[in-house]
Amino acid sequence: MAMEGNGASVSDGASKTKIPHVLTVAGSDSGAGAGIQADIKACAARGVYCSTVITAVTAQNTVGVQGVNIVPEDFVAEQLKSVLSDMQVDVVKTGMLPSIGIVKILHESLREFPVRALVVDPVMVSTSGDVLAGPSILSSFREELLPMADIITPNIKEASALLGGMPLETVADMRSAAKALHAIGPRNVLVKGGDLPDSLDAIDIFFDGKDCHELRSSRIKTRNTHGTGCTLASCIAAELAKGSSMLSAVKVAKHYVETVLEYSKDIFIGNGRQGPFDHLLRLKNGIHNSHRQGTFNPSNLFLYAVTDSQMNKKWGRPMVDAIEAAIEGGATIVQLREKDAETREFLEMAKACVGICRSYGVPLLINDRVDVALACDADGVHVGQSDMPARIARTLLGPEKIIGVSCKTPEQAQQAWIDGADYIGCGGVYPTNTKANNPTLGLDGLKAVCLASKLPVVAIGGINASNAGSVMETGVSNLKGVAVVSALFDRESVLAETRNLHAILMEAASQVK
Ligand SMILES: Nc1ncnc2c1ncn2[C@@H]1O[C@H](COP(=O)(O)OP(=O)(O)OP(=O)(O)O)[C@@H](O)[C@H]1O
Ligand SMILES: Cc1ncc(CO)c(N)n1
Ligand SMILES: [Mg+2]
């Protein structure tokens, strides 16, 4: 029975804050790794409101899909109307659409209530091999849904099915498929290569009708990949709802998936072949076993990029571009270190950098300046032994912000823990030009500092592609990564250098394990 609306409307003239809003039209996954549940968590992690129209309820776990119950078409229509007629949806994202009738209803609803963008994840078969939408759906996808879509995100099998069984085995095949799918009508196509056999990287192909981009990230070795496709599409929708361009939404989403897989690679849920991951980046090393209710994850120290405005000036690149390139290349945290700018100029720059880092989910720390960190709402500060003491910085910044301290000696390392710091920056490990009169500790000095503290440590000072491997291979358990300045920013291509260093660190980390 249909219920009447309650007739009440809120329009009291009070100031209203619009929050970006994604509506997901998808199936429920009882195991909560994929489907509606993944969509809600991905949107929440990206700071976007998510409403839900449920098309089917599945009984599903890490072993497979045990049952599917399709929601009656009329009731899908009713849910769509309830949300779209009232709730200021920016972007609609679709997942499991299990019948031709449901596709038709969605098509009609979107004509009646247009939205800014439509993201279509043409879900057909789960990775466990279970059918979520049968082949009879293909023609209605092609005729009704694809031409309306701003982007479609098929995996290899789905791209092949939509193209009548065209075989897809190589990156070149993925490129041809992206172009052929574009001809069916969607504005943009992303063919996902998560299931591409024998590929070292996770490669996706993006085609916008003009240019074809090959998007690569490192392939995380983990069983916890159930729901990557739903998460990727929801994150694209979330970034579009915030106002991103399509290419940047796709890049941010891909980077987010890589980051959550890395964070969640060792978590254990379920006994089947493919487990879920933790969208909110908390389980591994996270708040559950931290001494403080903070949000710092020590894995963020893996590739720590420290900026230098002189170097960026020398190479003629704006700070935000340099930072974006470093993040794209694999930097896991950024420290803004500014020695020349006046406070106001520094603050403006810091705000822009917070914006870019936040869009990628990478923390930004401010060197030295607690006031600037507070004013731009950065994720924290890094202080030296002659800067604001960490204990006072903690009082000023509160329990949530990240605080790092530079330490050269075991005594300083012990003090950093007592003062409530989150990590230690230890160096200079090797000689460097970026800091005058800085004594060199060598790998032995680094080890001594690591062993003196429970805190995670990042090594700094003269580290580059040729010696980063030996630093990581010291194998002390709380040494979590390396911090670099010149090796990334005093170079022609920040992206290429960061990527290279990231690969070296991954290799070294796998040796240690
Ligand atoms: N092991 C991995 N490491 C890094 N990225 C990955 C990995 N596996 C998948 N991805 C990325 O995750 C995204 C989803 O890709 P995939 O091809 O697995 O989609 P899907 O099969 O639709 O996902 P689902 O498992 O939810 O059905 C892509 O950007 C892909 O490159
Ligand atoms: C409900 C649902 N939607 C999508 C997928 C694809 O991962 C799944 N396994 N379950
Ligand atoms: Mg997959």
Separation CA 357–CA 193 (nearest Å): 26
Annotated catalytic residue 227: yes
CA atoms within 13 A on the CB side of 266: 6
Separation CA 478–CA 394 (nearest Å): 22
Residues 6+ apart with CB under 8 A from 318: 312
Q: 126 in ligand 2 pocket by Cβ < 6 Å?
A: yes
Tokens of 277: 């991951």
Annotated catalytic residue 58: no
49-60 sheet: strands from edge to edge: 65-70, 49-60, 21-29, 91-94, 117-120, 151-152, 188-192, 201-207, 212-218
Separation CA 363–CA 361 (nearest Å): 7
Q: 58 in ligand 2 pocket by Cβ < 6 Å?
A: yes
Angle separating helix axes 246-263 and 228-242, nearest 10 degrees: 140
Separation CA 101–CA 104 (nearest Å): 5
Atom of ligand 2 nearest to the CA of 56: 1
Q: 472 in ligand 2 pocket by Cβ < 6 Å?
A: no
Tokens of 12: 């009291």
Identify the residue whose C-alpha is closest to ligand 2 atom 2.
35
Give me the interface pTM, i.e. the ipTM.
0.91
Say how far residue 184 (Cα) sits from the centre of its chain: 30
Annotated catalytic residue 225: yes
* Ligand minimally distant from the alpha carbon of residue 42: 1
Tokens of 156: 């290899």
SS3 breakdown of the chain: % helix, strand, coil, rounded to 5?
40, 20, 40
Tokens 């935000």 — which residue? 320
Separation CA 16–CA 35 (nearest Å): 31
How many A from CA of 192 to the centre of ligand 3?
Answer: 8
Q: 35 in ligand 2 pocket by Cβ < 6 Å?
A: yes
Residues 6+ apart with CB under 8 A from 258: 202, 217, 218, 220
One-letter identity of residue 491:
R
Q: Ligand 2 pocket check: which of 137, 230, 231, 277 to mutate, most ligand atoms within 8 Å of Cβ?
A: 230
How many A from CA of 216 to the centre of ligand 1?
Answer: 12
How many A from CA of 276 to the centre of ligand 2?
Answer: 12
Separation CA 402–CA 294 (nearest Å): 8
Written as tens digits, the pLDDT of the chain (513 aa) is 444 444 445 555 556 788 999 999 999 999 999 999 999 999 999 989 999 999 999 999 999 999 999 999 999 999 999 999 999 999 999 999 999 999 999 999 999 999 999 999 999 987 777 778 888 899 999 999 999 999 999 999 999 999 999 999 999 999 999 999 999 999 999 999 998 877 789 999 999 999 999 999 889 999 999 999 999 999 999 999 999 999 999 999 998 999 899 889 889 999 999 999 999 876 544 433 333 434 688 999 999 999 998 898 899 999 999 999 999 999 999 999 988 889 999 999 999 999 999 989 899 999 999 999 999 999 999 999 999 999 899 889 887 899 999 999 999 998 998 888 999 999 999 988 766 667 899 999 999 999 998 899 999 999 999 999 999 998 899 999 999 999 999 999 999 999 999 999 999 988 875
Q: Which pTM value belongs to this model?
A: 0.70
User: DSSP state, 113?
Assistant: S
How many A from CA of 126 to the centre of ligand 2?
Answer: 6
How many A from CA of 41 to the centre of ligand 1?
Answer: 17
User: DSSP state, 131?
Assistant: B
* Ligand minimally distant from the alpha carbon of residue 227: 1
Say how far residue 330 (Cα) sits from the centre of its chain: 11
Q: 98 in ligand 2 pocket by Cβ < 6 Å?
A: no
Separation CA 188–CA 198 (nearest Å): 26
Give the active site residue among 43, 93, 94, 192: 192
Q: Which residues surround ligand 3, an ion (CB under 5 A)?
A: 127, 194-195
* Ligand minimally distant from the alpha carbon of residue 158: 1
